[in-house]
Structure 1
């Protein structure tokens, strides 16, 4: 073994660095070692052991520097220093930091700051909290909404109770996340529990209905249909029902229009509301130039034999056609009135006659004057 080491390292030991090291080590060798072979052997062993010891020491130092315990200690020290920094901030500074983090989508840091504020009873302003609630509810981050609810219940319980535990934000978060069933069940529970906030909950319901119809989710529409009928039948609140019907009725999608017809057919309360508000609905929808929706409403009124309302809506539509100088549309309404034995007001009939006359005058093309040629002779 020793002979093998000598043979492998023979050329290496002739370098100046090794020679100097060998001389230093030789001074440490006892004089009893007179044999040159023994001297070289001892020198090699000592040199090799010295290198191994240096490498082992360096490895241990590196391992100690990047060890798990040291990393944990460093991270815990960093977190504790950050927590201490948050705890020493004023309320205004905390609000500014939260808004800055929110603008940069730093949700993790916001959660850490909210937890620190909760632990140290640091007050975050109501406007900042509501901005956080709105942002996280629209993005469907239910865990963040729950964290904010927990903070408010600990630090500012009066604000927490005054706003209905901020449960409407949790309902919105579930709906925007795609779980409309859970979101609407939460909203229904809030509606029953907090009577004073029902007006606010109606607005939330309307926003959710608009979003569901615009996103074209058939499954979601079925869930909303269930809850609007429940609100109408059990809670005696028809506002969500009429909002849902109106959005489906005015939609350009055939499936939405069919759903509006189903609601009207299944709810007598809705029929009475549509009967009372038919003229108002027609005027509002014509401002959006949606005369097709008015035609569908006329069909529904005729189906349920609401003839007086039918005539009123027909007059509104006829006036709209006159203002837009739509002769074809006016003519169709006149023929429809003749078929049903109805008559339009005299002033509208007069406007229609004037429109016909004006249209004929504009259609008549002026005849060009005939040029009379005079007799003349060419002179050469």
Structure 2
């Protein structure tokens, strides 16, 4: 360090230095050193936490430049000097593709490698691991295998999809049969390639053959297809999706897919999609019944988005088909929302609408409206004391007894 050299030089010349000044100088130097050490340690911790999964699996990594002719490997990345920066080590590790001998690995390790590579969208490592699976005739768990199937369909690689299906058939024929020969992934690949007719037929066949294990996977794939279609695809593509939903409801007695299509179209920003939702609602009685059973959840989602206009549109659909109990639920949800916002005018309009439509709301909402008119806070409960139950029954407020004017 520069300071101690200067001190020795001055002392050699016979100049006396106060001890207090010297101690202060040494203390300040020691404080700076401690601070630098803490900063360096913190930086290394942060860099270490930012390293990817490849460093965690370094014992299986074989850089291509260090492979021997016999297939062995000499790991070189971690033979560097210990003083080398972690970021430099990371760059060396990721400069070469990952080469792993998965033949000796357990299934959980294969799952970890594949799952992480897929989530990071690291196509190079995914396909290196894919080739290793084919060569070693190994399989991951079914959940990770489904992820790999989806990843292959995204790349539109039909050859790799066929390779993976044949591998499953060869290694685990029982699982292959239980998963209906992975027909749903063949249908998904056809869909993404634009073969709508073949894809619809394959999806229908997969829905017919599906069991409790494969049904959630098929539904997840079809939800992704519906999300990609509504609002962004042509009307012909949307009609193909609707065909699958109607087939599931009419032939398999399962209205889930059609309800999902209806809700996605109903909540779409495009007027054409909203018109499709209205047509479906008018066409299918079972769809109307299914939507009526989902009113609370749908209203809650729309209120979270402050999309009150869509709630009124839903109210119009129910009114058109004389579904008065469903209309009453919508009015109640609307009143609760406006009451929470302390909007007196909106609450009074809802009560007036219930009177005009002859859909009386429970007396509780008349009391809540009076609370707002009188400027009181919301009541803690709607049950009156038992001592006044008789008098309250005699003077029970009726919605049609008065008319509010503003």
SS in 2 for 1:145: helix
Sort the Cα spacing of 1:83 and 1:255 in 2 relative to 1 into closer, same or farther, 3 A.
farther
Q: For residue 216 of structure 1, report the CA deviation from its aligned partner.
A: 4.2
**Residue of structure 2 equivalent to 1:230:** 247
Sort the Cα spacing of 1:259 and 1:164 in 2 relative to 1 into closer, same or farther, 3 A.
same
**Of 189-198 and 223-232, the range deviating more from structure 2:** 189-198
User: Hey, which of these two has a bigger chunk of helix by percent?
Assistant: 1
Q: For residue 277 of structure 1, report the CA deviation from its aligned partner.
A: 3.6
**Residue of structure 1 equivalent to 2:202:** 186
Match for 2:181 among 133, 158, 165?
165
**Residue of structure 1 equivalent to 2:190:** 174
Match for 1:124 among 139, 157, 170?
139
Q: For residue 331 of structure 1, report the CA deviation from its aligned partner.
A: 3.5
Alignment of 1:300-319 (within 5 A): 300-319=317-336
Sort the Cα spacing of 1:83 and 1:215 in 2 relative to 1 into closer, same or farther, 3 A.
farther
Query: For the Cα contact (< 8 Å) 1:168–1:187, is it kept in 2?
Result: yes
Sort the Cα spacing of 1:352 and 1:299 in 2 relative to 1 into closer, same or farther, 3 A.
same
Query: For the Cα contact (< 8 Å) 2:324–2:359, is it kept in 1?
Result: no
**Residue of structure 2 equivalent to 1:299:** 316
Q: Deviations over 1:27-66 (max 9, x none)?
A: xxxxxxxxxxxxxxxxxxxxxxxxxxxxxxxxxxxxxxxx
Alignment of 1:231-310 (within 5 A): 231-310=248-327
Q: Distance in 2 between matches of 1:159 and 1:152?
A: 8
**Residue of structure 2 equivalent to 1:70:** none
Match for 2:364 among 335, 347, 362?
347
Alignment of 1:61-210 (within 5 A): 90-92=103-105, 95=110, 104-106=122-124, 109=128, 112-117=131-136, 122-126=137-141, 129-196=145-212, 197-210=214-227
**Residue of structure 2 equivalent to 1:369:** none
Q: Deviations over 1:279-320 (max 9, x none)?
A: 443244334433222111110111001112212221111111
Q: Distance in 1 between matches of 2:101 and 2:367?
A: 80
Q: Distance in 2 between matches of 1:354 and 1:190?
A: 57
Q: For residue 124 of structure 1, report the CA deviation from its aligned partner.
A: 2.9
Sort the Cα spacing of 1:358 and 1:87 in 2 relative to 1 into closer, same or farther, 3 A.
closer
TM-score (structure 2 length as normaliser): 0.58
Q: Distance in 2 between matches of 1:168 and 1:324?
A: 47
Q: Distance in 1 between matches of 2:194 and 2:70?
A: 36
Query: For the Cα contact (< 8 Å) 1:330–1:352, is it kept in 2?
Result: yes
Q: Distance in 1 between matches of 2:343 and 2:218?
A: 43
Q: Unaligned stretches of 5+ in structure 2?
A: 1-68, 74-98, 377-406
TM-score (structure 1 length as normaliser): 0.62
Query: For the Cα contact (< 8 Å) 1:171–1:182, is it kept in 2?
Result: yes
Query: For the Cα contact (< 8 Å) 2:207–2:215, is it kept in 1?
Result: yes
Query: For the Cα contact (< 8 Å) 2:102–2:133, is it kept in 1?
Result: no
Query: For the Cα contact (< 8 Å) 1:91–1:123, is it kept in 2?
Result: no
Query: For the Cα contact (< 8 Å) 1:171–1:186, is it kept in 2?
Result: yes
